[in-house]
Chain A
Amino acid sequence: MEGAMKPDSIINIALALALAPLLQGVISRVKAVFAGRIGQPLLQLYFDLARLSRKSAVYSTTTTWIFRAGPIVSLACTLSALLVMPFAGIPSVMSFPADLILLVYLFGLMRFFTVAAALDTGSAFEGMGASREVLFSALAEPALLLSLLYVSRTTGRLSLSGMLAQASVVTPGLILVLAALAIVYLCENARIPFDDPNTHLELTMIHEVMVLDHSGPDLAFILYAASLKMWVLGAIIVGMSAPAIAGLPWWLGYLLYLAGMLVLAALVGVVESGMARLRLVRVPQLLVAACTMAGLAFVLVLR
């Protein structure tokens, strides 16, 4: 058993619950700055969540209970994923060998129900988004797991908490893996260049179009689940790139990690300001490139 439960593991979860929606605000603010606009408030997503949860919902007569279950399962999956996510060198509440598999597959379950809810509406647009989502995430999954296999090999640990607590040494392998993970991060969180969350044309959307029909608290659940997912995947990237924090006082570790999360969000904003969405046929190539980079990094470390 790597890392017994400590009381401060709970703080990790509380931080994620409280701060996850902030990342979206940072991204929009960075994009606004680049575009020369003032932009929406940093806390816009909090306001949206509060307003949506006070509203009623509209349901299509085509839909069944699957449509209502989609947002519930999505949120429950991300909440459960928080239980295996370490942060700032503090092990997760539940840490065990190969817990990263569970993390990845919880996101798989979330996707299954999001896609099923989309197909439940019978809308051609939602079907289209669902069809793209399943392809892209199927290609992103090997890249994510191969990257984690690399980290596991270099750190000699099998649990996420064990892996991410180790100091990272900058090697060619680590750079390749971080590049692969950055691609996975952008793809899984439906950001440019894979998906444009701000587009106004349903035909070109992926994630947004799948949740078109959701409203009220259901939509709030989906938005909150998406920002939590972004937080969890971000914590993995920050954990891998952060220098050794084992000797630091705990508050400095937290500060370092929080700064890392905000920088990551700002970088996403920079990427989104600097490039356009890829053509859909190009997306798989980028994801296959991510798999190749992660695989190459692992082979490099085998010698």
Chain B
Amino acid sequence: MSLLLAALALLLASGIAAAALRRRPGTSSAVAAIGTVAAAVLGLIPSVRVLVDGAAVQAHAAWQMPFGSLAVAVDPLTAWFLAPILLLSALSAVYGAGYFRAHDPHASTSMAWFWFQILVASMVMVCIARNAVLFLLAWETMALSSFFLVAHDKHKPEVRRAAWTYMVATYLGTACLLPMFLLLGRASGSLDFPGLSGAHLSPGMTTAVLVLALIGFGAKAGVMPAHVWLPEAHPVAPSHVSALMSGVMIKTGIYGLVRVAGLLNAPPVWWGVALVFLGIVSGVLGVLFALAQHDLKRLLAYHSVENIGIILLGLGVGWVGVSLNNPAVAALGFAGGLLHVLNHALFKGLLFLGAGSVLTATHTSEIDHLGGLLRKMPVTGVTFLIGAVAICGLPPLNGFVSEFVIYAGSFTGALTAQVWSGVVLAGVVAALALIGGLAVACFTKAFGVVFLGEPRASHAAPVRESGRLMTVPMAVLAVCCTAVGLAGPAALVAVTRPVALLTGRLDMHGVFAHAVAPLVKVSALSLTLVVVVALVAVVRWRLLAGRAPAAGPTWDCGFSRPTARMQYTASSFAQPITDLFAKILHTRKVLVAPPGYFPSGGRIETETPDFGRERIFDPLFSAASRALHPLLRIQQGHAQMYILYVIIALVVMLVWKVR
């Protein structure tokens, strides 16, 4: 515990130091990056230790805050979320030092570093807090610090708009968390988490608590339809901040959901079904909207929504298993969901860092302007490819491990399911399959159009690979993706202790040993696949030995002068899919067809606005604003009037009190 508190202190100290070094951006970056790495190392030690030996550590101190106490603890569930937070923070910080230098070495980034350190510290605090007041304070600090990071380029209007969207979404979420903790606290008489778990709630109360948790934490996690802030905020934030926010910050929403649902003795049956339903909606719609995007970072933001959907599918299967009293299904579902939390942090962090590297080199994240980058940026290209294969859930990388575990849970449950649970589990299988297929479509598009073929537009400056500070973190994450993919059984063993906290009263004896066995074979086959690839490559090399391959232009079916502009673009690649799902996506097209027999100057623009924003929140907010318009009359800008309001309020309260 003391190591973790030391890590927090180190984060705060290096943040303040970085903020103080306003005049020297280079030193400021170095201080912040070194501070984060050191803090991460300090913090990872207790996290890993708790995961290995399972003994929770805690600390408790009195606090002047009403209802508050400085109760912190690290149990396996906390440790499971802490580990990716610390790892990705350290790598993002190192990358950020390179990123800021590459963009503008003289711009002052000291405040960005200060907020970055605060963000990391508050994420750690959210995970270790064991008191509702402390938790909410950390939660708000996290929201505020990430708001300032999103608004880093505040002179651009679209950045300010995105930051406000984020602010509104996160406060709507908090507005639900506050009453949720109050309901729990009133029932149990304590705001400390161990006390909260003793609360005896009526079924109606339980429903209220769970719904509030779903909205409050779901808004942070990016569950559809509360995802509107993700595709706005992720593209405009500095790339290492996007990586951190998308990779781990939105997972604090999942952490909150799991923690609060775990506090209740046994969530009702509808809870698992609701999570599966939300998972299907977020997963399928997330990947569909991702397919329709042609901004690389916006595309990745929608994929975060999709992956949160996959996590919810896993957790939903887990709670369905709890409802069915089936320990194997519960264990596999929770394990798959929690493993995906780790895996998504690894590959999404990697992909956002890769997107930032592309952005740094080409000054655009518009996919249709890019192409052929693999030659010029080999490290970014290869690591992005690894991230892309991983996020599609393909073997032999880590995404496959977690999706396999969720599938295994669904198949196991379907063997003995009744009608309702059978339909739910079949829904999980079909949704995962569809999401997987569409993700392959989306990432062959993203990787293929950005890194393969010929450049689609000429860039002002020659494109160069990013510096070591940026490529090394990407390489580390790529290695992590591969390692988790090949060591699936070890990952499953590591997640058993957090899962055991969620399965409640089920008898888990021998369940995990049974679940690990197939993963051992999966790992064996993944290794075999790697070996077979090498063998086939050797065969090809032998076959071609002594025969120099010829080089020529791409065969374009008799057309002798193919140009880079004739290549398929991201928009044309995705068009059959966006057309098929046009009823959902509502892609707007502006088409100026080339006129006449000798056509020139045609133009097409497509834009897919977010349905949540267009259909739900914009109408809702404008209706609310219309309804509240009359209240504007009391806001006149005269200080005297406001003082009058204060006096009236005071008098009313006085009368009410002495009455």
Contacts and interface: CB of A to CB of B under 8 A. Distances in A.
Contacts of A132: 576
A202 B557 contact: yes
B554 A213 contact: yes
Given A119-B449, A302-B423, A94 B521 contact: yes
Given A158-B412, A302-B419, A302-B423, A119 B452 contact: yes
Interface of A is mostly: helix
Nearest to B427: A295
B611 interface: no
Contacts of A221: 536, 540
Interface residues of A, number: 86
Interface string A186-202: 00000000000000001
Contacts of B498: none
B556 A106 contact: no
B610 interface: no
Contacts of A142: 429-431, 433-434, 437
A127 B573 contact: yes
Contacts of A115: 440, 444, 448
Contacts of B371: 122
Contact of B436 (A141, A152, A202, A218): A141
A122 B554 contact: yes
A157 B260 CA distance: 36
Interface in A232-270: none
Contacts of A135: 441, 576-577, 580
B568 A1 contact: no
Nearest to B399: A105
B408 A97 contact: yes
B448 A130 contact: yes
Contact of B395 (A62, A102, A120, A140): A102
Contacts of B572: 127-128, 131
Contact of A96 (B436, B518, B529, B533): B518
Contact of A127 (B389, B394, B518, B567): B567
Contact of B430 (A108, A122, A295): A295
Contacts of A295: 426, 430
Contacts of B436: 105, 108, 138, 141
A160 B619 CA distance: 51
A98 interface: yes
A14 B528 CA distance: 17
A13 to B, nearest CB: 12
Interface stretch (A27-35, A77-85, A174-182): A77-85
A156 B434 CA distance: 24
Contacts of B172: none
Contacts of A40: none
Contacts of B422: 153, 298-299, 302
B522 interface: yes
B366 interface: no
B537 interface: yes
B387 to A, nearest CB: 13
A124 B573 CA distance: 10
B418 interface: yes
Contact of A120 (B400, B423, B452): B452
Interface stretch (A18-26, A50-58, A271-279): A50-58
B525 interface: yes
A59 B533 CA distance: 20
B392 A112 contact: yes
A111 interface: yes
B328 to A, nearest CB: 10
Interface in A38-78: 53-64, 66, 68, 71-73, 75-77
Contacts of B601: none
B411 to A, nearest CB: 5
Given A138-B437, A152-B415, A105 B393 contact: yes
B423 A58 contact: no
Contacts of A144: 433
A303 B420 CA distance: 10
A291 interface: yes
Contact of B550 (A56, A71, A73): A56
Given A76-B536, A94-B524, A124 B544 contact: no
B211 interface: no
Contacts of B654: none
Contacts of A63: 554
Contact of A131 (B400, B548, B568): B568
B275 interface: no
B644 interface: no
Interface string A109-122: 10110011011111
A15 interface: no
Contact of B554 (A64, A112, A121, A202): A121
Contacts of A121: 453, 554-555
B434 A138 contact: yes
A212 interface: yes
B495 interface: no
Nearest to B395: A105
A197 to B, nearest CB: 17
Contacts of A17: none
22 contacts: A56-B547, A59-B550, A59-B551, A79-B532, A99-B521, A105-B394, A106-B395, A112-B394, A116-B452, A119-B452, A122-B371, A122-B452, A122-B453, A138-B436, A138-B440, A156-B415, A158-B408, A213-B555, A217-B544, A218-B540, A280-B576, A295-B430
For the complex of A and B, list the 3 residue pairs with the smallest distance between their C-beta atoms, beginning with the closest: A127-B568, A138-B437, A119-B448
Interface of B: 371-372, 374-375, 385, 389, 392-395, 400, 403-404, 407-408, 410-412, 414-415, 417-419, 422-423, 426, 429-434, 436-438, 440-441, 443-445, 447-449, 452-454, 517-518, 521-522, 524-525, 528-529, 532-533, 535-537, 539-540, 543-544, 547-557, 562, 564, 566-568, 572-577, 580
Given A102-B522, A109-B394, A124-B566, 10 more contacts: A63-B554, A108-B440, A121-B555, A124-B567, A124-B568, A134-B444, A134-B577, A135-B441, A135-B580, A299-B422
